[in-house]
Amino acid sequence: MAVTVAVVSTKGGVTKTTTAANLGGVLADLGARVLLVDLDPQSTLSSYYEISSRADLGVLNVVQTGRIDGAVSTVSMAEGLSADLIVSDDVENKLHDDGTAVTVKLE
């Protein structure tokens, strides 16, 4: 069974990225398969862990196409753990221009 957890707030500086990164680490430590998605144009979550295998594409392509093919990187965590990560590549802030949330159904 897949479970989706979103860490969301319109206020900045309330530890959203730290919470998501640590929650992902704890879940990976418990044996769960983890996919972190960095929607922040500042790419903070994408730099939280070392990327051991970087995909060619990022979150902007995922939102534009609705597909994750070629966008899933692998990050190394403590004690040999790893998780998947879709990096933020939205340097022009295209995903947030109108202030609305973005929802995409992935195949």
pLDDT digits (tens, 9 = 90+) for 13-44: 888 999 999 999 999 999 999 999 998 888 89
Do 21 and 48 contact (CB within 8 A), yes or no?
A: yes
pLDDT of residue 50: 93
For every residue of 44-60, DSSP letters joined together read TGGGTSEEEE--S--HH
Do 39 and 90 contact (CB within 8 A), yes or no?
A: yes
pLDDT of residue 40: 85
Residues of the chain with pLDDT under 50: 99-101, 107
